[in-house]
Each structure stands twice: as structure tokens, then as C-alpha cells.
Structure 1
Amino acid sequence: MYKTILVPVDISEDVLTEHALKHVEYLAKMSGAKVHFFHALPDASAFVTAYSFGIKEFENQAEVKAIEGLKKIMAEIDLPLENLAYTISFGSPRDEVLQLAEEIEADLIVIGSRRPSVKTYLLGSNAAAIVRHAKISVMVVR
């Protein structure tokens, strides 16, 4: 059914990730799919003026924290480690997810989302943007 499932996660949103992981685990077990986790970090140059250290230090710290978060998620999911991978990049979550989906030839994206609010109706959410622009199937888990 599926060969590669892409799972964009926000490591600071435990509840959203937890809900999505139940579905990912089930689908991966049923189809023998590989699961590729992804986390997008904000463009560091936008934050440099707020910090006393440089861009590279900010990026390195953010990347280390993201890797730790993704490895924690991977340790908690009941799938063989050889079927799990992760990627971290800096940029727009929507753009980075869509680009990665093509690169790894994903055939499904599973993303957690909370109930829409006034803010997401006006500005849009990452999940909604991915659904609108993806060339493959997207499962939004609430």
C-alpha cells in the first residue's frame, strides 16, 4: 500500500505528534512502509538580532535540539529502527515538506493538526498549506 510515509512534526507540539504517531505506526506496520520524520526550523537570519551570538551558533543549537526531539520520537514508536529516518532543514515548513516528499519519493504525508481557529482561518496553517499543494495523499490527524 505505502512504501514511504513522510511525517512532518513540530517537536514542541507533543499532543499533535502523539495523535499522528498512532496512525503512522498502524499504517507502517500494515504496509511495511519506511517512515521519514521531518522538522522545519525557522530561518535563523530572522532571529539573529534578538541574540548576542551569531547565526551558526543559533542554527547549531536549534538543530541539536531538533535532532534530540526526533530521536526521542523515533525511540517511542514501535517500528524497526532500520525503517525510520529523519531530516531537519531551515525554511518554510510547507515548502520544505513538499520538497522532501519529492526527494524521498513519499507516497503519503501524515501530519497532526489542531482544530481550526480564527487565526488559522485568516493566516492558514502548515497542515492546510501542505494539503493544498501536495502532489501525493495527505492524512491530517486531529
Structure 2
Amino acid sequence: MYKKILVPIDVLEDALTQKVIPHVECLAKLSNAQVIFFHTLPVASAIVNAYSFGFDEFKDQATIQTEQWLNSLIDSINLPRENLSFSITFGNPRDEILRLAEEIEPDLIIIGSRRPNISTHLLGSNASGVVRGAKTSVLVVR
């Protein structure tokens, strides 16, 4: 059914990630799908720190910490390790998720979403932006 599943996550939203994982495990097991976890580091943080520390140093530290977190996540998942991978980038989460989806052409995107609040009503959530912009099926987990 699904050969490739893209799973955008926010490493700062562990509770939301833990709600997504059972869906990922279940759907990936059904057809031995490849699962790609994806995290976007904020550009604003990179720009602010670039002046203080040098962009390369900040990027390296942020990337190292995110890689460690993603490796721990992957180690905790009940799927074959060879079916799991991750990708990290800097940018706007919604835009970067949609860009990666265009590039790798997943059969499904599984994304977590919190209950809407005033900021999501005014600005829109990443999940709603992905649902509107994706060219593939999107499963939103709350």
C-alpha cells in the first residue's frame, strides 16, 4: 500500500511526536515501507546566531543535537532499522516539508498537529499548510 512515508516532526514537540509514532509503525509494517523522518531548524535562530558565533558553527551544533535526537527516536521505533532514515534542513517548516515531498515523492505524509489556538487561526498551522499544498495523501494526527 505505502512504499515511502514522510514524517515531519518537531524535536521540541516530543509529546506530539509520541502520538504520531504508533501510526507510523502500524502503517509502515503493513507494506514494509521506507520511513523518512524530517525536521526543519528555524532560519531565524540561524540568522541571530550567525552574527555571534559564525553560521557554520551554529549550524553544526544545531544539526548535531537534532541528529542525536533523531537517532534516539529511530532506535526506539519498532521497525527494521534499514527502513528508517532522517533528513534535516533550515527553513520554514511548511515550505521545506512540501519541497522534500516534491523531491522524494512519498505515498503518504504523516504529521502531528496540536489543537488549534489563536495563533494557528491567525497564521495557520504547519499541518494545515501541508494538507493544502501536498500532492499526496496526508494523515494528520492529534
Distance 1:32 1:23 in 2: 14
- Number of the residue aligned with 2:49: 48
With structure 2 as the length reference, what TM-score do the two structures score? Answer: 0.94
Q: Deviations over 1:94-129 (max 9, x none)?
A: 111111112222010000111000111011111111
Count of residue pairs the alignment pairs up: 141
Normalized per residue, which structure has more helix? 2
Question: Once the 2 structures are TM-superposed, how far is the Cα of residue 48 of structure 1 from its aligned partner?
Answer: 2.7
- Which moves more between the two structures, 58-67 or 97-106? 97-106
Residue in 1 that maps onto 2:35: 35
Structure 2 unaligned residues grouped into runs of 5+: none
Pair 70,45 (structure 1): closer, same or farther in 2 beyond 3 Å? closer
| Percent identical | 57
> How far off is 1:45 after superposition?
4.5
Aligned residue for 2:110?
A: 110
Between the aligned partners of 2:46 and 2:52, the Cα distance in structure 1 is 13
Mapped to 2, the partners of 1:102 and 1:81 lie a distance apart of 24
Deviations 1:28-84 (A, max 9, x none): 0012111000000112553236x6311111111110011011111101110001000
Q: In the alignment, does 2:18 pair up with 1:18?
A: yes
CA distance in 2, matches of 1:99, 1:6: 12
2:52 is paired with a residue of what secondary structure? coil
Q: Distance in 2 between matches of 1:31 and 1:19?
A: 21
Q: Which amino acid aligns with 2:47?
A: A
1:1-142 alignment, distance < 5 Å = 1-43=1-43, 44-48=45-49, 52-142=52-142
Question: Contact conserved, 2:47 with 2:55, CA < 8 A, in 1?
Answer: no
List runs of 5+ in structure 1 lacking aligned partners: none
TM value normalised by structure 1: 0.94
Runs of 4+ that moved beyond 3 A:
none
The letter for the 2-side match of 1:75 is D
